[in-house]
Amino acid sequence: MRHRAKTTAGLAKLTVKFKDLEFSFDLLQDKPDENAMLEYALDLAEILADRDEKNMVVLFDEFQDASRVAGGDIYKKMRSHFQNHKNVSYLFLGSKEGMMKTLFANQKEAFYRFAVVLPIPPIPEDSWLAYITQKFGEQHIKADDKVIREILQKTGGHPQDTMLVCSEIYYALLETAEKTITPEYVQLGYNRALLTLAQVYNEILDEIGQRTHAREVLKRIAAGDRAYIKRDNPNEIKRALDYLITKAVIEKSGRGSYKFVEPMFREYILREI
């Protein structure tokens, strides 16, 4: 089909015009120049702002995942473009605080001192309560304070996990044509959410397993045991703990004590032990 199309269309192109900006794509090109497209994309905000003589704000969500999606060099490429932009301000959001701190505070990282770090406080439980009640109410679903607090207790108020559990509860209610959330539906939605997250958690555990003692330390923390034990070198345990904090898997909760950033991850590990 490609051969016939080339014979018929020759050098056909798709051209999209947005005012005086024009984008052209070779429809039948075997290997489009992805690097050129990326370079242009990274400068597009500055091009638009300069053309319209207006300032622009670009916001990146879950910024710590950019390297997982686009490769480890993406931050260097971004920095090389963004630092030359005069009309654009950049906001970087991320749910993994440890990784975000590393990206902007570690001298070895491309975005070192590129931005001002502004920590966002946790969402208050009462705010969660009002929001979840409203959202279920919009779908004519009854949810009393007790079951919503049970959801928050299970998720620890972690934003992404809380929304996932609520979503699974909603779909379970749709399947059974029910309109009231009960503790049984909370547990069902929670279990389904854990199954959805299993692949993500397994990938994290595989990555952690490449670091000496990291996986063993994580399991001890999940079980409520001390991170340090006599038979292990304390310096190696310290490095494992620092690594787990940097990866935003755990955070320090007190002297010598640590907790999971995602309580559901802890539950997953406990079920797998």
109: exposed, middle or buried (Cβ count in 10 Å: 0-12, 13-18, 19+): middle
Distance CA 110, CA 112 (A): 6
Quickly state the pLDDT bin for 272 (edges 50, 70, 90).
confident
Question: pTM, whole model, 2 decimals?
Answer: 0.71
* DSSP strand pairing (250-254 vs 257-260): antiparallel
Share of the chain above pLDDT 90, in %: 65
pLDDT given at position 22: 60
SS3 call for 26 = strand
pLDDT given at position 30: 58
22: exposed, middle or buried (Cβ count in 10 Å: 0-12, 13-18, 19+): exposed
Quickly state the pLDDT bin for 268 (edges 50, 70, 90).
very high
* DSSP strand pairing (88-92 vs 56-60): parallel
B/e letters for 155-194, b = 16+ CB within 10 Å, e = fewer, are bbbbeebbebbbebbbebbeeeeeeebeeebbebbbebbb
Distance CA 259, CA 39 (A): 41
pLDDT per residue over 49-90, tens digit each?
999 999 999 999 999 889 888 887 999 999 999 999 999 999
CA-based nearest residue to 201, from 223, 226, 219:
219
pLDDT given at position 8: 52
pLDDT at 177 over 60: yes
Place of tokens 């004519």: 140
**Lowest-confidence region among 19-33, 153-167, 197-211, 244-258:** 19-33
CATH 3.30.70 fits 125-200, yes or no: no
pLDDT at 20 over 70: no
What's the average model confidence in pLDDT over 148-169? 96
Spell out the domain ranges in the chain. Answer: 52-120, 125-200, 209-272
What's the average model confidence in pLDDT over 250-265? 91
The answer to whether residues 79 and 226 touch, using CB atoms and an 8 Å cutoff, is no
Work out the mean pLDDT of the chain and round it to a whole number.
88
Assigned CATH for 209-272: 1.10.10
Describe the crossing of helices 145-155 and 183-208 by its angle, rounded to 10 degrees. Answer: 10
